[in-house]
Structure 1
Amino acid sequence: MRPLKESPDFRRLWVGSTVSQLGTQMTAVTVSIQVYALTRSTFAVGLVGLCALVPLVVFGLYGGAMADAIDRRILALVSSTGLWVLSMILVLQSQLNWGQVWILYAVVACQSACFAVNGPARSAIIPRLIRPELLPAANTLSQAAFNLGFTVGPLVGAAVIAWHGFAAAYLVDVITFTAALYALFRLPAVPPTGLVRRAGLQSVLEGFTFLRAAPALLATFLADILAMVFAQPRALFPAVAGSFFAGGVRTVGLLQAAPAIGALIGVVFSGWVSRVRRQGVAIVVAITVYAAAVGLFGLSRTIWLGVALLALSGAADMVSSAYRNTVLQSAAPDAMRGRLQGVFTVVVAGGPRLGDFVVGTSASLTTPTIALLGGATVCIVGLLILLARNRPFREYDSKTRALS
């Protein structure tokens, strides 16, 4: 809790993000349920992720370059305002019963573009608000905020949908997002440091050049890609809620919330995380546990066993994310941090969206069980190859912070 006590600005940012995550995660589960209600197709739900992927990649990379070129507070404010407006559009399309799935796809794509700019700016602000030694604690708190929203959001979202329909769930997102806008408005200016270059292709390429010369950092991205593309189960929740567990909308909400519940439990017992020095190995171990839990979830037919396995996957993902964030924020220079956070945003947010498409398509061609077991196996094998072939990643030490 030290970052919250020592930095009022970080505290405001954290509180605003925590509140807004509730609505954001409600919207995420609501869109999936609405698409499935309109189409009755896991492939259509998987397309939600694909529609978000392209703008996320393009605007994530460019947004990271912008975060190194202009005031990060202004960039975060403008992109957050765009997200607020798009949430209002979701309210309207549901309230007016437009019933067109392409509208949902279009809004998701635009949301993805705004988020891709917002994410690098917000993340690159944090190291400017707190001391370097508090970064692991700050990242754990940020994960806790995300997972609190991920826990409560789907459950509340499913309950609100059952009570008063999709529009009411989307409206909560509009209301809660106002808290994030207020927190950003209260922050001080966060201008770029070092040699400032105009945001563009050249500055984006400089970020990739730095990343290519830092194999330990590059491996943290590759490890997350393996997990999120091949072992991401969320696109199947609307389908398996009925086929695995004979449930409905509330079961979908419970499945969506389970990983975040596990992550929150993991945060409570995360005091040991900052004491681990071999963080590359720790990332591989954590993601292996995550993938194994997802694979076993594909075999479960009892709801509480399924929830327990998803909770375990969430706890393992929390540990992995804390280490990956810490490696990036502690080892990267501030002048390069926005661009690297842009790549990080593309991987962290784009990976699951591509994963939604991969697992949705795989399940439609085979079965959900085969899709989950096969994806988990690919992930674990890929991790072992990555660890064996990347010595800097395998030997990365938080004390020396050597990336190559």
Structure 2
Amino acid sequence: MRRRLAALAPDLTPWRSSRDFRLLWIQGLITYLGSVMALIALPLQIKELTGSPLAVGVMGAVELVPLVVFGLYGGALADAVDRRKVIVLTEAGLGLLAAVLLVNALLPQPQLWPLYLVAAGVAALAGLQRPALDSLLARIVPHDQLAAAAALNALRWQAGAIAGPALAGLVVAYAGNVPAYAVTVTGFALSVVLCRRLTPVPPVEHAEKPSLRGIAEGARYAWSKPVLLGTYAIDLAAMFFAFPNTIFPFLADELDADWALGLMYAAGAVGSLVVSLTSGWVSRTRRHGLLVVFGAAGWGLAIAAAGWTSHIWLVLLFLALAGAGDMFSGLGRSTIWNQTIPDRLRGRLAGIEVLSYSIGPQLGQVRAGATAGWTGARPAFWTGGLACVASVGLLTLALPKLVSYDARTDDDALLRASQDSAYRAARAADGDGEVSGHNTPAS
């Protein structure tokens, strides 16, 4: 029994083997704990200023265009420059935008337009940053540790997602927006200090400058790979139809449970955390496409169930189950991406990934807000959840190669593993420590 329990424990090998992975893990936790304060305070402040579910949902529309444009450009940028510099500069910019929220909240009469302006700015900077962050993992972690690293990164996010929303809900409810935004500013300041300690991550040799042609090359590669296309499409559909976070304040009102708002934001992370704490099996899993499909379908079913019930504790339970489903799907997507994509395209494909898992929630906010305005919060939940399940089923039929993906037989995964082994052996022979130099395999 003890041996079986040990096999379920998270694999800590990436934490032990890579200093840069440890730095990014700690930095990510600090950033999330800080930014989640603004994540909850911002829509709640819009609700207080307008009283409109649609006004809250419009925040997703405001973020959409900057996210698309800068996400694609950020992917090309990550392939062309030092990824560490991109991360440091964008973290500093996000800290400045948090300071704008703080100043606005300190005004005798806070204005609505700066909230939308900051939301658009955050989307732009996140679009620039996320490809650099995501494409960094395959550089600093060996190929055979990528699944374990994805699980550890998820564990970090969940630790923040559980503690952060619960704490933020209390801070915003009892202390107001000003302390929440102040914590956000502090978190980004600490993050910049940690990111500056990362090893430089220069681009591969003969890297192209960011261009529309380079972005198009990445898009053509993604379109030519049904497995990748399936991961993007399923995540986009699941988030568009069943991302209800923006209407949590209105659901809490309908259920007369304002005290549970922070718990609603945290519940999904609780379910994800249970999966992460028992993620030892991830390092031994090879059928990651099945994780994507069943995880996304489970997410939709749980969101629908949360809308059907009127009991707040059952709502929280179903939100936790949704988080578990999303975790399964996310582990599958992340592992497939890092196992199959060549490094010379990693940034550009990471830009497409940003769009796939960010545009969905942004549009999902608009859908959820509009539906809640017409029918109420609970119907917005269950109709979206059922639509999610239906769309996942149709996409699975259209893209069967995603379901059959196996890291032991997939040509791209085998090629990347071979290149990674040769590269790290060469670096070890040269006596280098961290693996993040110029000579990363480009093909």
Q: What's the TM-score bracket when you normalise by the shorter of the two chains?
A: over 0.9
Matched, 1:286 2:288: no
Matched, 1:39 2:50: yes
Q: Distance in 2 between matches of 1:142 and 1:88?
A: 27
Q: Deviations over 1:138-166 (max 9, x none)?
A: 11111111222221221111111123210
Amino acid at match of 2:106: Q
Which structure 2 residues correspond to residues 168-207 of structure 1 after superposition, within 5 A? Answer: 168-207=179-218
- The 8 Å contact of residues 72 and 122 in structure 1, kept in 2 or not, is answered as yes
Which structure 2 residues correspond to residues 298-317 of structure 1 after superposition, within 5 A? Answer: 298-317=307-326
Match of 1:167 in 2: 178
| Residue 401 of structure 1, CA deviation | 2.9
- The 8 Å contact of residues 61 and 366 in structure 2, kept in 1 or not, is answered as yes
Q: Deviations over 1:31-65 (max 9, x none)?
A: 11111111111111111111111101110000000
Q: Distance in 1 between matches of 2:193 and 2:183?
A: 16
Q: Distance in 1 between matches of 2:291 and 2:357?
A: 18
- The 8 Å contact of residues 254 and 377 in structure 2, kept in 1 or not, is answered as no
Q: Secondary structure at the match of 2:176?
A: helix
Match of 1:210 in 2: 221
Q: 1:110 aligns with which of 95, 100, 121?
A: 121
Which structure 2 residues correspond to residues 319-338 of structure 1 after superposition, within 5 A? Answer: 319-338=328-347
| Residue 209 of structure 1, CA deviation | 0.5
Matched, 1:295 2:300: no
| Residue 186 of structure 1, CA deviation | 0.3
Q: 2:262 aligns with which of 253, 261, 276?
A: 253
- The 8 Å contact of residues 215 and 403 in structure 1, kept in 2 or not, is answered as no
**TM-score, length-scaled by structure 2:** 0.88
CA distance 1:224–1:98, shift in 2 (3 Å)? same
- The 8 Å contact of residues 216 and 403 in structure 1, kept in 2 or not, is answered as no
* Displacement over 6 Å in runs of 4+: none
How large is the RMSD of aligned CA atoms in angstroms? 1.4
| Residue 403 of structure 1, CA deviation | 6.4
Match of 2:110 in 1: 99
Higher Rg:
2
Match of 2:394 in 1: 385
CA distance 1:184–1:401, shift in 2 (3 Å)? farther
Q: Distance in 1 between matches of 2:366 and 2:403?
A: 31
Q: Percent identity?
A: 35
Matched, 1:16 2:27: yes
Q: Secondary structure at the match of 1:301?
A: coil
- The 8 Å contact of residues 86 and 111 in structure 1, kept in 2 or not, is answered as yes
- The 8 Å contact of residues 226 and 379 in structure 1, kept in 2 or not, is answered as yes
Q: Distance in 2 between matches of 1:131 and 1:403?
A: 16
Match of 1:222 in 2: 233
Match of 2:17 in 1: 6
Q: Deviations over 1:110-169 (max 9, x none)?
A: 011001111111111121111111111111111111222221221111111123210100
Match of 2:284 in 1: 275
Q: Distance in 2 between matches of 1:220 and 1:402?
A: 17
Matched, 1:48 2:66: no
| Residue 402 of structure 1, CA deviation | 4.2
| Residue 394 of structure 1, CA deviation | 2.2
- The 8 Å contact of residues 217 and 403 in structure 1, kept in 2 or not, is answered as no
CA distance 1:300–1:27, shift in 2 (3 Å)? same
Matched, 1:78 2:89: yes
Q: 1:339 aligns with which of 343, 348, 356?
A: 348
- The 8 Å contact of residues 214 and 403 in structure 1, kept in 2 or not, is answered as no
Q: Deviations over 1:78-116 (max 9, x none)?
A: 111100100111111001244222210110100110011
| Residue 400 of structure 1, CA deviation | 2.3
Match of 2:419 in 1: none
Match of 2:250 in 1: 239
Q: Distance in 2 between matches of 1:150 and 1:36?
A: 22
367-376 vs 4-13, which deviates more? 367-376
Q: Distance in 1 between matches of 2:206 and 2:108?
A: 51
CA distance 1:247–1:5, shift in 2 (3 Å)? same
Unaligned ranges ≥5, structure 2? 1-11, 414-443
Match of 2:424 in 1: none
170-179 vs 275-284, which deviates more? 275-284
Amino acid at match of 1:216: V
CA distance 1:238–1:45, shift in 2 (3 Å)? same
Amino acid at match of 1:376: G
| Residue 192 of structure 1, CA deviation | 0.8
- The 8 Å contact of residues 392 and 402 in structure 1, kept in 2 or not, is answered as no
**TM-score, length-scaled by structure 1:** 0.97
